[in-house]
Structure 1
Amino acid sequence: MELEERRRFPLEQRLREHIIGQESAIATVGAAIRRKANGWYDEEHPLVFLFLGSSGIGKTELAKQIARYLHKDIKKGFIRMDMSEFQERHEVAKFIGSPPGYVGHEEGGQLTKKLKQCPNAVVLFDEVDKAHPDVLTIMLQLFDEGRLTDGKGKTIDCKDAIFIMTSNVVSDEIAQHALQLRQEAMELRRKRIAENLGTAFSCADDVQATDKITISKQFQENVVRPILKAHFRRHEFLGRINEMVYFLPFCRSELIQLVSKELSFWAKRAKARHNITLLWDPEVMDILAEGYNLHYGARSIKHEVERRVVNQLAAAYEQDLLPPGCTLRIVVDNAEKELLKTQDSSPAEEGGRREEPTLRLEIVEKDNKGRKLDIQAPLTPEEMSFSL
């Protein structure tokens, strides 16, 4: 039954429903998991991944979705270890448990205790670059032989487990290399159009081709590996990694998907909690996508939507401007003053640079016309002290 379900609903299809972009990462992980699930793997060694890329780009979410695909009981099937908690040498005891005669001996280690409950779990070592070298030494035995000895001297066999490490060590280099590849692809596309070549290909197909780029082998060997070797200071640790998976910055079409997903989330929340229908114009997604920050990934889009849309929703609700069952539309306002303008967030004019377009809320009337909401800006500290 599990085999038939995997045929009808492959891992790649499941991952694409929850992960935006990252086609290369999904393909690499999907192929490795398929080998393991169908018995085409080395049974003496566990499967080890190293996820590389910027923060907020889908590394942790991909690990969670793999666990959901492989295990029905996600609580036991997914073990997350925040390696920033193991930066000191004495914190190794938290990892495998204290030896006999020490405090906490009976409690066991954080990892060993969970692996006993589910030896074939998906184990995520988040931000592994922050861990102490002694912790990495323990992980060498874990990745090579698929077993781990706890503080009580008991050996745990976990060759069927899947170990995933994440790191931001080479995130800037990967991001810049990906941006360079996209720029070169766009230049090639412009050159083709200028020379009137490739008429059999549509413009849309060409744009998608520029989005699907992969990290070159030369870049991996000449840039990524030297940085990883210099940081981890051991060749044998990197040699036990089956796959290095690269997560790339989002392209324009993927940013629009992220904005749409975030707005849809708040639309469902508005409908469920306040019986308010939330709509938005297509231009709104383009403007919100401009808030993307290369270093913070999807989190920057989330924060941009909260800052420019959800803040207005909360203020309008607090001021009793939203009747129950109403329909709201988010539109672009070219007015010079923002609706929720505060002293700290007021944009400054720099050399004729125009202000960012303002988003505002409208109530959709029966004739489908929008009525602008008069949302009062919060009082500044100066205004509050003057009123007193």
Structure 2
Amino acid sequence: MGTVLFVVTLHQTAPLLAKVIVLSACALAVGQFLYRGQYFPRVIMDVLSRLSDKAGLERAFEARAKKLATINAEDLARRVKARVVGQDETIDQIAIQLRRRFAAQGRNRPIAVFCFTGAPGTGKTHLAKALAEELFEDRNHLHFFDMSQYGQAFSASGLFGSPKGYVGSQSYGALTAALRDMSNAIVLLDEFEKAHPEVHKRFLAAWNDGFITEASDGARVSTSQAIFILTTNAAGRRISEIAQNHKGDRAELTQQVKSAMLDAQFAPEVLSRIDDVFIFNPLRGLDLARVVALEIERLAAQYDLKIAEGGIDVAVLVDTVEALGDRVDGGVRDVARAVEHQITDGLLDARGAGARFIRLVKEQDRVKIVHDPLEASGHLKDSASTSS
């Protein structure tokens, strides 16, 4: 109503100007109608409208954002447990925390800053990678940084860029470039304790203020859609003992673990920015047997061989686990080496003989690999029936 009165008044004092304003408004309304209705020539349409279904794409992005905002913790935990062995309780806790933090987005901070601690080879890095694929359905949403490469104070420029006038100032740092190109991702800072303390402190703004500054041009890169995961082996044995002997609530356990990390030279200001610490337990018993079986399957696949149904003799798994005993300080890596030493020659012989399916049996003090022609013929029959 106010606009109409203004135009009427203006028409009485300056009729030409009033006509120009009315015609401009009409032209703008027509243009907006044509654009929204996609009636413009293809060359001046939105590229998504021209080359794809823009409305459908907008709905897909909205659905994806809504899906992440309402994570089903039980479903996420179930899917991750199928990929990571021996850390069920930790995975449940992580899924619950992620559900809460995704629901509370918009606080100008990263979605979460988690620390995975425990003995080497217990699945810390593997779990972070699995989370990236399960949350974002794309492994490209994982930014991996080996922090052992940043053991000197000056090496921070490799992550955050170099100021103008210094070598490398023409390009972005690895971290700022990764988050600029893919902001909704997991940033995995592997073996964080091996980076220089000055490098640690450069992350404080990222975790506290919700952005990092690229040194080369001063640009601010948002971290509010990222999940930072630090992995560390520092004080791993002591932390495992704390977890095994602890009887109180989780908040008290977290404080004790952070105290142990403080003694391991983590700066207090860094620890105070970590939202939660998750402890990874050493692999034991059936969990270790599962890892051995999976490593056998993985190694056989490298030689184009498959394990027959029930094809690993129980004695093979029991003896391997007992032989490892308490020597699994390297976790899965120790298991992989032990398995490789036992069966590689047999796998080579089996492949050379043209086998496809194999069985592993215990024969005195060695593991013998035998062909399984029945499994192979059964497979061929299944394939024939399927194709017919």
Match of 1:241 in 2: 274
**SS at 2:144 equivalent:** strand
TM-score (norm 2): 0.70
Q: Work out the number of aligned pairs and report it.
A: 304
Cα deviation code 1:344-364 (max 9, x no counterpart): xxxxxxxxxxxxx32223445
Root mean square deviation, CA, Å: 2.9
Does 2:221 correspond to 1:153? no
**SS at 2:156 equivalent:** helix
Alpha-carbon separation, structure 2, partners of 1:260 and 1:239: 40
Does 2:312 correspond to 1:280? yes
Alpha-carbon separation, structure 1, partners of 2:244 and 2:109: 36
In structure 2, the CA distance between the partners of 1:219 and 1:40, relative to structure 1 (3 Å rule), is: closer
Cα deviation code 1:144-168 (max 9, x no counterpart): 1111011121111111210000110
In structure 2, the CA distance between the partners of 1:160 and 1:326, relative to structure 1 (3 Å rule), is: closer
**SS at 1:19 equivalent:** coil
Question: What one-letter code is carried by the residue in structure 2 that aligns with 1:238?
Answer: L
Identical columns (%)? 27
Does 2:118 correspond to 1:88? no
In structure 2, the CA distance between the partners of 1:256 and 1:157, relative to structure 1 (3 Å rule), is: same
Choose from 331, 335, 338 the match for 1:301: 335
Match of 2:24 in 1: none
Match of 1:52 in 2: 117
Choose from 256, 264, 287 the match for 1:231: 264
The Cα of 1:282 is off from its aligned counterpart by 1.5
Match of 1:109 in 2: 173
Question: What one-letter code is carried by the residue in structure 2 that aligns with 1:93?
Answer: S
Alpha-carbon separation, structure 2, partners of 1:288 and 1:142: 45
**Greater per-residue helix proportion:** 2
Choose from 171, 176, 179 the match for 2:236: 171
In structure 2, the CA distance between the partners of 1:296 and 1:149, relative to structure 1 (3 Å rule), is: same
Match of 1:33 in 2: 98
Question: What one-letter code is carried by the residue in structure 1 that aligns with 2:338?
Answer: E
Conserved? CA contact 2:240–2:279, under 8 Å:
no
Alpha-carbon separation, structure 2, partners of 1:328 and 1:309: 12
Conserved? CA contact 1:178–1:215, under 8 Å:
no
Does 2:347 correspond to 1:313? yes
**SS at 2:104 equivalent:** coil
Question: What one-letter code is carried by the residue in structure 1 that aligns with 2:198?
Answer: D
In structure 2, the CA distance between the partners of 1:169 and 1:325, relative to structure 1 (3 Å rule), is: closer
Alpha-carbon separation, structure 2, partners of 1:180 and 1:239: 24
Alpha-carbon separation, structure 1, partners of 2:369 and 2:269: 57
**SS at 2:264 equivalent:** helix
Match of 2:360 in 1: 330
Matched ranges for 1:1-388 at <5 A: 1-2=63-64, 7=72, 10-37=75-102, 39-41=103-105, 43-46=107-110, 47-75=112-140, 77-151=141-215, 152-177=217-242, 220-222=254-256, 224-232=257-265, 234-270=267-303, 273=304, 279-292=311-324, 293-314=327-348, 316-317=349-350, 322=353, 324-325=354-355, 328-334=358-364, 357-363=365-371
Deviates more, 1:127-136 or 1:231-240: 231-240
TM-score (norm 1): 0.70
In structure 2, the CA distance between the partners of 1:277 and 1:136, relative to structure 1 (3 Å rule), is: same
Question: What one-letter code is carried by the residue in structure 2 that aligns with 1:163?
Answer: F
The Cα of 1:268 is off from its aligned counterpart by 4.3
| Larger Rg over CA atoms | 2
In structure 2, the CA distance between the partners of 1:246 and 1:274, relative to structure 1 (3 Å rule), is: closer
Question: What one-letter code is carried by the residue in structure 2 that aligns with 1:283?
Answer: A
Conserved? CA contact 1:215–1:246, under 8 Å:
no
Question: What one-letter code is carried by the residue in structure 2 that aligns with 1:250?
Answer: L
**SS at 2:203 equivalent:** helix
Conserved? CA contact 2:114–2:229, under 8 Å:
yes
**SS at 1:104 equivalent:** coil
**Structure 1, unaligned runs of 5 or more:** 182-212, 335-356, 367-388
Cα deviation code 1:330-353 (max 9, x no counterpart): 22122xxxxxxxxxxxxxxxxxxx
Conserved? CA contact 2:212–2:221, under 8 Å:
yes
Alpha-carbon separation, structure 1, partners of 2:314 and 2:199: 50
